[in-house]
Amino acid sequence: MSNVRTNISISLDGYVAGPNQTQEDPLGEGGERLHDWLTRLRVWREASGMEGGEENVSSAIVAEGNANVGAEIMGRGKFGPAARGPWGDDPWRGWWGEDPPFHKPVFVLTHHEREPLILADTTFTFVTDGIESALEQARKAAGDQDVFIGGGADVINQYLAAGLVEELELHVAPILLGGGARLFDGVGPDLRLEELRAIEAPGVAHLRYRVVN
Amino acid sequence: MSNVRTNISISLDGYVAGPNQTQEDPLGEGGERLHDWLTRLRVWREASGMEGGEENVSSAIVAEGNANVGAEIMGRGKFGPAARGPWGDDPWRGWWGEDPPFHKPVFVLTHHEREPLILADTTFTFVTDGIESALEQARKAAGDQDVFIGGGADVINQYLAAGLVEELELHVAPILLGGGARLFDGVGPDLRLEELRAIEAPGVAHLRYRVVN
């Protein structure tokens, strides 16, 4: 069965990026610390073309999170720096160089039309007619596999508020950011969740929930 | 060794009470759901003079949280309803009736002087000269035992921001409140925490942290 799911690293005070995100500092002030638990792992370093790294309880959780994902939806703010408006003549090609780590169709939510961008085995399709259209396209591309809502906070919040996410995993980092992009902003009290599991791992707690409809 | 510690139930969106707290609804809209994991437990029901209830992983964690606590500090907003100002001629005597469940010295932070209130084996002392004075008095009263910062959010946030808390446990309820009293507001990014453990239990995840100085 195809699921719509998301997982994201979050600070104890509820932020998935720090304040003042810029092109030089895409996760905002202190935001890199959200991923300290992840970037030390071999499974992450390998996917990023780096050697070394450790194996721990989180390794299996990361592998699980990546498995069976057939398409990803992200906001323009995850695809590129905070600058908005038309894409221009020399448009941004993503943060990830010529061989992005997705290896699957990616749908980028934006208010500005743009032709698809193909980089190695990742195709970025730019969707201007809203989150439901993006989900429909992603479901079609994913086939029997899951659709992953890749962030940022705004996009995840929109999908959660619309009741379109089925599974949510939070990687709770033992840090405070004091400001930034807040997960669950505007999602409201009506979203019903069921706790599926809580797993302790070095420098992080993995909390998984199912959305109850 | 005497520790200063706190533990509190928190929603996934970071609130420890819902919006619109009133005398009739002291935990705000939806706030009672924060404690669904707790009020089903025998250990909680016994302490509240009720029969029945279940035993699960949370039972030991609640017992642990209550053990070795020699004094509690709370805000006026935990002691009584949101109304502020002088205590008046017929002052509020707490939410808990004539036999409050504390059985230890309690220090209530307030801007308005008041004589101590003795109810069964609980003495409420009203402290008007700030959080450090309250902590000093509570430490003296607790002796070798721990001091518990009992909330609400404001009081915990003040003690966290001042670097005066040594251990913090969050009982993460699988709910969203969409508004209310936010833990960590104003605490800022400089508080360094170390994850001590994460425990899965029915309807809650228990996350414990040590403050690193």
What pLDDT shows up at residue B188? 86
CA distance A57 to chain B (A): 13
Count CB-CB contacts under 10 A for residue B119. Answer: 16
Convert the pLDDT of each residue in A49-79 to its tens digit: 899 999 999 999 999 999 999 999 999 989 9
| Residue labelled with tokens 């439901």 | A132
How far is Cα B205 from Cα B213, in angstroms, rounded to an integer? 26
CA distance A20 to chain B (A): 14
The conformation of residue A134, written as its DSSP 8-state character, comes to: H
**Is B189 in contact with A178 (Cβ distance < 8 A)?**
yes
What pLDDT shows up at residue B120? 96
What pLDDT shows up at residue B3? 95
| pLDDT, mean of residues A135-141 | 98
Is A120 within 8 Å of chain B by CB? Answer: no
| pLDDT, mean of residues B45-66 | 93
| Residue labelled with tokens 């309820």 | B173
User: What share of chain A in percent tops pLDDT 90?
Assistant: 91
How far is Cα A11 from Cα A33, in angstroms, rounded to an integer? 9
What pLDDT shows up at residue B184? 98
Range in A53-57, A82-86, A149-153 the model is least confident about? A82-86
Phi and psi at A192, nearest 5°, equal: -100, 130
What pLDDT shows up at residue A47? 84
**Is B14 in contact with A18 (Cβ distance < 8 A)?**
no
Query: If contacts are CB pairs under 8 Å, which of residues 125-184 in chain A contact chain B?
Result: 170, 172, 174-179, 183-184
Higher pLDDT, B22 or B6: B6
Give Cα B188 distance to the centre of its chain.
20
| pLDDT, mean of residues B93-102 | 93
Residues of chain B in contact with residue A9, where contact means CB-CB under 8 angstroms, are: none
How far is Cα A21 from Cα B79, in angstroms, rounded to an integer? 41
Q: Report whether pLDDT(B131) > 90.
A: yes
Task: Please give the angle made by the CA atoms of B136, B142 and B144, to the nearest 5 degrees.
Answer: 110
Interchain CB contacts (distance < 8 Å): A and B: 91
Give which of A101, A97, A2, A94 is closest to A43, Cα–Cα: A101
What pLDDT shows up at residue A213? 77
Choose the closest CB to A189 out of B177, B189, B204: B177
Contact indicator for B145, B3 with CB cutoff of 8 Å: no
Sign of CA dihedral B140, B141, B144, B148: negative
Choose the closest CB to A193 out of B175, B179, B187: B175
User: What share of chain A in percent tops pLDDT 70?
Assistant: 99
Contact indicator for A164, A4 with CB cutoff of 8 Å: yes
A132: three-class secondary structure by DSSP? helix
**Is A14 in contact with B18 (Cβ distance < 8 A)?**
no
| pLDDT, mean of residues A90-95 | 93
How far is Cα A22 from Cα A4, in angstroms, rounded to an integer? 29
**Is B13 in contact with A184 (Cβ distance < 8 A)?**
yes
Choose the closest CB to A207 out of B14, B172, B187: B172
Summary mean pLDDT of chain B: 95
What pLDDT shows up at residue A145? 97
| pLDDT, mean of residues B137-145 | 97
Is B212 within 8 Å of chain A by CB? Answer: no
| pLDDT, mean of residues B97-103 | 93
The burial of A3, by beta-carbon neighbours within 10 Å (0-12 exposed, 13-18 middle, 19 or more buried), is given as: middle
Q: Report whether pLDDT(A1) > 70.
A: no
Report the side by side order of strands in the sheet with B146-151.
Answer: B117-119, B122-127, B106-109, B69-75, B146-151, B4-11, B167-173, B204-212, B192-201
Q: How confident is the model at residue B23 (pLDDT cuts 50, 70, 90)?
A: confident
Give which of B155, B113, B120, B109 is closest to B17, Cα–Cα: B155
In A78-166, DSSP assigns E strands to 106-109, 117-119, 122-127, 146-151
Phi and psi at B66, nearest 5°, equal: -85, -20
How far is Cα A120 from Cα A99, in angstroms, rounded to an integer? 5
Q: How confident is the model at residue A173 (pLDDT cuts 50, 70, 90)?
A: very high
Task: Search chain A and give the residue with CA nearest B172.
Answer: A207
Task: Search chain A and give the residue with CA nearest B209.
Answer: A174
Residue B23 is encoded by which pair of tokens? Answer: 């005398």
Phi and psi at A139, nearest 5°, equal: -60, -45
How far is Cα B46 from Cα B34, in angstroms, rounded to an integer? 19
| pLDDT, mean of residues A35-42 | 97
Best B7, B58, B200, B209 member to test A by mutation, with max A CBs in 10 Å, is B200
The conformation of residue A127, written as its DSSP 8-state character, comes to: E
Convert the pLDDT of each residue in B150-195 to its tens digit: 999 999 999 999 999 999 999 999 999 999 999 999 998 999 999 9
Q: Report whether pLDDT(A83) > 80.
A: no
Convert the pLDDT of each residue in A7-32 to its tens digit: 999 999 999 999 999 888 899 999 99
Is A189 within 8 Å of chain B by CB? Answer: yes
**Is B176 in contact with A183 (Cβ distance < 8 A)?**
no
How far is Cα B134 from Cα B110, in angstroms, rounded to an integer? 10
Residue B4 is encoded by which pair of tokens? Answer: 């200063």
| pLDDT, mean of residues A119-135 | 97
Residues of chain B in contact with residue A18, where contact means CB-CB under 8 angstroms, are: 189
Tell me the whole-structure pTM to 2 decimals.
0.95
**Is B193 in contact with A170 (Cβ distance < 8 A)?**
no
User: What share of chain B in percent tops pLDDT 70?
Assistant: 99
**Is B12 in contact with A205 (Cβ distance < 8 A)?**
no
Best B6, B184, B185, B190 member to test A by mutation, with max A CBs in 10 Å, is B184
ipTM: 0.94
Summary mean pLDDT of chain A: 95
Q: Who contacts B210 (Cβ-Cβ below 8 Å, separation ≥6)?
A: B166, B167, B168, B193, B194, B196
Contact indicator for A156, A198 with CB cutoff of 8 Å: no
Residues of chain B in contact with residue A184, where contact means CB-CB under 8 angstroms, are: 12-14, 176
Task: Search chain B and give the residue with CA nearest A11.
Answer: B189
